Structure 1
Amino acid sequence: MHSPHPNQEKKSVNQADHTHNECKPSNKDLVQLLAEFVPKSQIIREVFIDSSALKNLPEKLLHHFGQSKVILIADENTWSAGGLAAQNELQKAGYVVEKLLFPANPQPRPTIETARTLSDELRSDNLIPVVVGTGVLNDLVKFAAFKAGKSYCCVPTAASMDGYASAGSVLSDQGFKITHNCAPPKLILIDLDILGAAPSAMSSWGYGDLAGKVPAGGDWIIADSLGLENIDKIAWPLVQGNLRLCLENPEGIRKGEPESLQSLIIGLLLTGLAMEFFGSSRPASGADHQIAHIWEMEHHQFNGQLVSHGACVSIGCLSTMALYEWLLQQPLERFAYNKSNYKTMEDKETEIQCLFREPEIARRALVETKKKHLESGQIEERIDQLKNVWPKLKSRLQNHLLPTTKLKYLLEAANAPIRAYQIGISEEHLKKTIRAARFIRSRYTILDLLDQTGLMDKALSEAQLPL
């Protein structure tokens, strides 16, 4: 599974030999796919996945980084989950180890300011950053290490999100959540025992994040059909080609079964690689994530806790699927455009000011919206184009999308939320979020299609949203 890298350092996906012999064919295929594509990364040298993988951390660091001082970055929870054990293994091997602990409560905020402060801590010479944790910690360290000019190692403590292998760090800048281009980790070491010991809710968050790739794929199909953003022949199959395999055993995810968690984490890693190869988050993110990002920018809490990214995506996913189910029932090939529905840039600016109370978020939303705004004549051309491609586009969407009832069953079986109230979102709040979500990215999604055709109100009224 080794392939030379341009710098002559070998890159690999390592699995213990017994894993190849014992895992299900679907898992074996996923392992092989990951092994095929890790060598194509410009940064990642190795992904090592195994039970008790943490015992291999010293030798892996020595191989990829040399014998230098290590700084372990964790929070109080992830320190207990894997940080302390990592420290013990490293010290036994003769490493000098420092640690930087964030509190578990309140959780560190994924902000550019926090990441820049952390970056100052990582600038010392001959220092190897090793992050032991999940989403927020990974995003903070990824950005901080990149700005400090450091390669780093990631030790995930849960299969909770798709950003471990990605070349982007999702951080808030003055309240506006955005993906910042960074370098992924040089080494990703995944201990299946640690993943299995994580709270089951965290695995359900990862499952929700992965399920969001279904409607995100639909959004990319729309953009491709309209000639706005062509589907990439590498990134698309990397995410979508084995997505159903990764989603096929939600009960195993809920129970923490090793093979199911392995499938989930590999699916998430493949998604991260696809984002690196494509150069943006388009392969992994559409309207589902835009909806989730709104709640994350609101610092939405339920029962006194911030709602996780994956839980937000789960509801964003089912909301987008409900809109797709409604859209596919509409005879758009005979659609009669009502010019009175056209919104000028001034109309959109007014709507943005009403939807976003924070001035900086409203300003950023306006910038994103201007990038995709069309004048009246351009809208009419877009509608004519949509009508012409709709029969084929409809067929492509039907072939790609899972039935909403099926996706809802899978998410519920994985213990992910399937109704908005389960994360403290009311019907009014959900519909307001769906309206707002199209403004925060220039990326074309189903939300833009509904807005440009003037069908948004009707869709929100008639679609079976996950209330």
Structure 2
Amino acid sequence: MRSEICNHPRIVDAETCLAGCTCGGDHPAPEVTLYSGEDAAQMMAEECRAVYGDRPVLLLFDPETYAVAGADLEQRLLSEKVNLTTHQFDSNPVATAALIDTVRDLDHGMALIISVGSGTINDLGKYSASEDQIDFWCLPTAPSMNGYTSGIAAIKVKGVKRTLPAAPPKRIYARPEVIQNAPLKLRQAGFCDVLAKVVSDIDWQCESLLFSGSYCGLPAAMMTTVEKSYSEHGLEIGRGDESAVMGLFHGLLISGVAMSLAGSSAPASGGEHLVSHFWDMREPLTGREPELHGLQVGVGIILSTACYRRLRELAAEDLPHRGEELFAATAAEIPAIWGPYADEVAKQFQGKRDALIQFNTLLPQKWNELQTLFQQVQSPEYFAELFARTGAPFNLEAFRLTKEEFMLAALNSRAIRERITVLDLAAHAGVLDLAANDALQLLSC
């Protein structure tokens, strides 16, 4: 039994948070530490007992993550005499307000919540702990997404997928063997999710140039330091090579920290994420079980990069002045697409109405500067080839998406969030449908 807690290294140190900043703002380093080793579960159990003693601890998992790592951790926690309560979600849980209520009903009086799993289970534990001011630790089971270290949680509220503030975990304990042996689709999903930052960073710069002035180069600088550890190793990630998979996992952790430092998801979540949220939100209406978030984001990357390529072909004088007309036409589609969720979606879209109308004057004025940003984005073929290197199929059929549902998301997902993205730029410029068809051809192979 361990009598004191070890000081594990932070994922990002304070000095790193100063280098690369271009906004002059304050970027306090999140105090998230990482212990990585095959004895991670035992280390977590011993340190849990050392820190919390007899105070109650809540352990969250689903059947799949319980089999992979949860059962082992549970036994180690009990062996260390941790005052443990467990909760098992159903397979493939969705992070909804209702499930948040379930966790918060369980966490009364708890000193700590531990999530064993990846996206949804991490978000459920993180958000509940943050809301109830309870400590949160996690034991990841896959390199499938960047939310482990982010300061947000993706929760479906009244049918709308929202990113809500949530303090990241204080401690992460990772078993390399578990991460390395995660199913191929989970590794491919993480590969897609971490590569999204290449596109979302340009989305953020475009929005900042046009409206907020909020862009900071720090997140991109942080990612550049680790990018080669995963971007050049798609084949090895697909094969399950330990160094490549752990490089991907580390890149995902850094990506999440980058969002925390920026104070928003903008550095790693742009238009490419909206199509994924669109399909998640449509699940009750279509009956289609959403695919892994990262894989859907990969589809969105193909769409966003196709948009940037089409935008590069335009001159300022080619831009129409139809902000009001286009907003009205898109808003008119919301009731038919969203049914009982239409009012909530309409509220989100209304939130950027003024910005979209300002496109009439702002886009021509800023077009030369925007073109400099557009030129930095690689082609959709480049990303499609990268994703295919993992060895898993990367097309609509593999993700159970029809061409009709893809086109519906491509043309309408921009309405579900207030954030300005390349999808809005392409729609205003009149090339969104062309870009969507370009992407459709690539994704139908």
Instruction: With the length of structure 1 as denominator, give the TM-score of the two structures.
Output: 0.83
Change (3 A) 1:422 1:53: same
Q: Counterpart in 2 of 1:343?
A: 325
Separation in structure 2 between the aligned mates of residue 35 and residue 72 of structure 1, nearest angstrom: 34
SS in 1 for 2:318: coil
Are 2:398 and 1:398 aligned? no
What is the distance in 2 between the residues matched to 1:375 and 1:61? Answer: 49
Structure 1 counterpart of 2:76, which letter? Answer: E
Distance 2:14 2:309 in 1: 33
> CA 1:384/1:134 → structure 2, altered by over 3 Å: closer, same or farther?
same
Aligned to 1:279: 263
Residue of structure 1 aligned with 2:119, choices 111, 114, 135: 135
Cα gap change, 1:166/1:49 in structure 2, threshold over 3 Å: closer, same or farther? same
**1:20-169 map, 5 Å:** 36=16, 44-62=31-49, 65-66=52-53, 68-104=55-91, 107-125=92-110, 127-169=111-153
Q: Deviations over 1:157-192 (max 9, x none)?
A: 111111011111101011110011111111111111
> Could you tell me how far apart the structure 1 residues matched to 2:32 and 2:265 are?
21
The amino acid that maps onto 2:70 is G
Cα deviation, 1:389-448, whole Å, max 9, x if unaligned, reads: 2xxx3333333x233333222211124553222212222221210111111111111111
Q: What does residue 167 of structure 2 align with?
A: 183
Provide the C-alpha distance between the structure 2 equivalents of 1:420 and 1:211, rounded to a whole number of angstroms: 19
Q: Among 387, 394, 405, which residue is 1:411 paired with?
A: 387
User: For residues 208 and 7 of structure 2, what CA distance do their matches in structure 1 show?
Assistant: 33
User: Do the aligned partners of 1:134 and 1:158 also contact (CA within 8 Å) in 2?
Assistant: yes
Shift of 1:387: 2.9
- Give aligned pairs, total: 431
Task: State the one-letter code of the partner of 1:349.
Answer: A
Q: C-alpha separation between the residues in 2 aligned to 1:146 and 1:203?
A: 28
Map Cα deviations across residues 212-243 of structure 1 (whole Å, 9 max, x no partner): 22221221232233344432132232235533
Match of 1:243 among 221, 227, 230: 227
Amino acid at match of 2:202: G
Counterpart contact for 1:344–1:375, Cα < 8 Å:
no
Q: Alpha carbons of 1:397 and 1:348: their partners in 2 closer, same or farther (altered >3 Å)?
A: closer
Q: Structure 1 residue aligned with 2:433, among 457, 460, 463?
A: 457
Q: 1:331 maps to which residue?
A: 314
What residue is the counterpart of 1:3 in the other structure? none
- Which amino acid counterpart does residue 13 of structure 1 have in structure 2? P
Cα distance in 2 for partners of 1:442, 1:377 equals 13
Equivalence for 2:361:
381
In structure 2, relative to structure 1, the CA distance for the partners of 1:293 and 1:322 (3 Å cut) is same
Structure 1 letter corresponding to 2:433: D
Match of 1:443 in 2: 419
* Range with bigger deviation, 300-309 or 74-83: 300-309
CA distance 1:242–1:432, shift in 2 (3 Å): same
Per-residue deviation, 1:248: 1.5
Q: CA deviation at 1:153?
A: 0.9
Identity of aligned residues (%): 24
Match of 2:338 in 1: 357
| Segment drifting more, 136-145 vs 368-377 | 368-377
Task: Give the CA deviation at 1:270.
Answer: 1.0
**2:14, 2:248 → 1: CA distance?**
12
Question: Is the deviation greater in 457-466 or in 249-258?
Answer: 457-466
RMSD: 3.0
Unaligned 5+ residue runs, structure 2? Answer: 19-26
Partner of 1:5: none
User: Could you tell me how far 1:131 is from its partner in structure 2?
Assistant: 1.0
Structure 1: tracts of 5 or more residues without a match? 1-8, 15-30
Cα distance change, pair 166–305 in 1 and its aligned pair in 2 (3 A): same
Q: How does 1:197-276 map to 2 (within 5 A)?
A: 197-276=181-260
User: How far is 1:64 from its partner?
Assistant: 5.0
Deviation at 1:348, TM superposition (A): 3.5
Instruction: Please say if residues 303 and 380 of structure 2, whose CA atoms lie closer than 8 Å, have aligned partners that are also in contact.
Output: no
**In structure 2, how many angstroms separate the alpha carbons of the residues matched to 1:409 and 1:64?**
47
Deviations along 1:356-382, whole A, 9 cap, x unmatched? Answer: 22333x222222222222389733312
Q: CA separation in 2, counterparts of 1:34 and 1:203?
A: 29
Inter-partner Cα distance in structure 2 for 1:83 and 1:60: 17
TM-score normalised over the length of structure 2: 0.87
CA distance in 1, matches of 2:7, 2:39: 21
